[in-house]
Each structure stands twice: as structure tokens, then as C-alpha cells.
Amino acid sequence: MKYALVTGGSRGIGKAVCLKLAEELKYNILLNYHSNTEAAGATRKEVQKLGVECDILKFDVASTEATQDAIEKWKNEHPEAKIEILVNNAGITKDGLFIWTNKEAWDSVIDTSLNGFYNVTQAVLKDMLRARYGRVINMVSLSGLKGNPGQVNYSAAKGAMISATKALAQEIGKRKVTVNAVAPGFIQSDMTKDFDEAELKKHIPINRFGEAEEVANLVSFLASEKASYITGEVININGGLYS
Ligand code: NAP
């Protein structure tokens, strides 16, 4: 009963990751989401069609208590299950120039990405270390590497996740638990649906936005046994926009 826990698995990149890990690696999926119950249910059906289990876990990754409670409850109800893969994918944006960024816009973006990484990883890592096997994959962003004007909060959250990825990888490599980050550029999803792709693609060497499935292909490789000697890395997937 091997499971992959994917946060923000209801839509966009997280949904594509759930489907890919089910299809290619044959993992059962533990699908976390926050509020879009309809999307989570639809994704679950698609995952189940691939012949694996898909359990839905609704919680806010920004809440330490809610995250711990939901994961502990699930683990107690599934004593035979092992979470071998964790994809910290849940994230939000609240864009605007820094001078106009209020405390709520600052905190909520940091809480979801960075503190979400803390909350969820804390809840599953000990089991991976005991099992001496695990894959942690953090969904970061080009913004966290180069910094993006209008996204100081988001760049800070993703930049901190990148550093945390590198540090944690060094702490736990001996236990055969790898920790890597995936840094997408512009990917088609609800997060980018209002962006002007025709204008922005002029700056992208591959001349288009990426697809969620293309990011999922990379996550699936990093989550597989084939990636056993890769840890502490940040892999760009941005159509050549930046590296
Ligand atoms: P999306 O389409 O907006 O989907 C976001 C997902 O995260 C949804 O499943 C949402 O759940 C979930 N979520 C949001 N807040 C949450 C919370 N507090 N607790 C639990 N789940 C939460 O976004 P996306 O484009 O797929 O992005 C996925 C990740 O990739 C994010 O970390 C994002 O920063 C990163 N990324 C995206 C791009 C891009 O161009 N799209 C580029 C670089 C990095 P509900 O359905 O319940 O709302």
C-alpha cells in the first residue's frame, strides 16, 4: 500500500502530478486540496480509472494543526499504508508591488508555500526516515530563483523553499530520502489563466507556456527509483526562459 501525498492535487499542476504518479509509478494517491471539492472529486475519478486507490484529504496546508490532524487520522485509519512520496505543490499568489502589499497578502502566500512545506513535511518525514526510503519534491518557481517584480511575497516564499530543500537534503541523504525542488516558469493553469500568453511567450525560447503534464513528467522522474542519486537540486522547467 504505497502512497504518494500530493498537496493541491485537485487542479492544475498538482492534478497532473496525481495522474502521472498513478499512471507511471502505480502509486496510490493521497490527494490534498483546500476548498474546491468538485475539482478534487473529478480528479479522484480520473486517478481511480488508472487502477489505483485515491483518497481525498481536505485540509489547509497553512494550518499546522489541521495538517497534523488530517494526516494523523488518515494514518491511524490506514495502518498498512506507507507514504513514500510527498509533493509539496499547494501554492497561491497575491501579486502587487511590495509597497502596496498588506500583511495578509504577505502572510497568506508565505503560509501556504513555505509554512505548508513545514507542516506537511513534518507530518510524514519521520516515517520515511524510519523506512529508509522517501522522495520529497517541492514545487517552487522561477520567481524564487530570479525574483519577480510584483511578486516579492511569492519570490520570498519560493526562494526560502529552495534553500530549505538544499539544507534538508543534506540532513537526510544517508537515510535514502531525497529532497528536490522543481521550478516551473509559465505553466497553463488557473494560476496563469489571466496572463497574456501571446505577449509573454515572445520572451520564452520555446515560444509557449508549458503544460501541467510536462511538469508532472519531471516530478514523476524525481519521484521514481531512477532518481536515487539526485538530491538537493532545483530543476528548472521553463522553456528556456531562465536557468
Ligand atoms: P492552481 O491551478 O491555482 O492550483 C492550486 C492548487 O493548490 C489547488 O489544488 C488548490 O486547492 C491548492 N491549494 C491552494 N491553497 C491551498 C491550501 N492552503 N491548502 C491546500 N491546498 C491548497 O495552481 P498551479 O498553477 O497548479 O500551481 C501549483 C504549484 O506550482 C504552486 O505551488 C505554484 O506556486 C507553482 N507554480 C505554478 C506556476 C504556473 O505557471 N502555473 C509556475 C511556477 C510555480 P483548491 O482546488 O481546493 O483551491
Q: Look at residue 191 in the predicted model and tell me its pLDDT.
A: 97
Q: Look at residue 242 in the predicted model and tell me its pLDDT.
A: 87
What would the grid cell of residue 135 be?
522522495
Q: How far apart, in whole angstroms, are the C-alpha atoms of residue 183 and residue 142?
A: 5
Q: What is the CATH number of the domain that holds 230?
A: 3.40.50.720
Q: Angle at CA 47, nearest 5°, toward 5 and 177?
A: 25
Residue 133's domain comprises 2-237
Question: Cβ contacts of residue 209 below 8 Å, gap of 6+?
Answer: 186, 187, 188, 192, 195, 197, 200, 201, 239
Report percent pLDDT > 90 for the chain: 99
Report if residue 44 sits inside a domain. yes
Ligand 1 mean position, distance from CA 184 (Å): 12
Report if residue 243 sits inside a domain. no
Active site residue 242: no
Report if residue 242 sits inside a domain. no
Write down the residue that cell numbers 511567450 correspond to: 201
pLDDT band at 52 (very low <50, low <70, confident <90, very high): very high
Q: For 125-142, what is the mean pLDDT?
A: 98
Ligand 1 mean position, distance from CA 12 (Å): 7
Q: How far apart, in whole angstroms, are the C-alpha atoms of residue 229 and residue 215?
A: 20
Report if residue 92 sits inside a domain. yes
pLDDT band at 243 (very low <50, low <70, confident <90, very high): confident
CB 113 within 8 A of CB 158: yes
Question: Cβ contacts of residue 220 below 8 Å, gap of 6+?
Answer: 17, 20, 21, 24, 25
Q: Look at residue 134 in the predicted model and tell me its pLDDT.
A: 98
Q: What's the number of domains the chain is made of?
A: 1
Report if residue 71 sits inside a domain. yes
Q: For 108-112, what is the mean pLDDT?
A: 98
Average pLDDT of every residue of the chain: 98
Q: For 117-142, what is the mean pLDDT?
A: 98
Q: Look at residue 73 in the predicted model and tell me its pLDDT.
A: 98
| Helix (H) or strand (E) segment spanning residue 83 | strand 82-88
Q: Look at residue 70 in the predicted model and tell me its pLDDT.
A: 98
Q: Look at residue 126 in the predicted model and tell me its pLDDT.
A: 98
Q: 105 pLDDT exceeds 80?
A: yes
Q: Look at residue 101 in the predicted model and tell me its pLDDT.
A: 98
Q: Which of 33, 133, 154, 242 is labelled catalytic?
A: 154
Report if residue 227 sits inside a domain. yes
Q: For 43-53, what is the mean pLDDT?
A: 98
DSSP one-letter code for 66? H
pLDDT band at 169 (very low <50, low <70, confident <90, very high): very high
Q: For 13-32, what is the mean pLDDT?
A: 99
Q: Is the shortest distance between the CB of 39 and ligand 1 below 6 Å?
A: yes
Q: Look at residue 210 in the predicted model and tell me its pLDDT.
A: 98
**Beta strand spans in the chain (E):** 2-6, 28-33, 54-58, 82-88, 134-139, 177-184, 234-237
Q: Is the shortest distance between the CB of 28 and ligand 1 below 6 Å?
A: no
Pocket test for ligand 1, best of 120, 189, 213, 235 (most atoms within 8 A of CB): 189
For atom 38 of ligand 1, the residue with the nearest CA is: 187
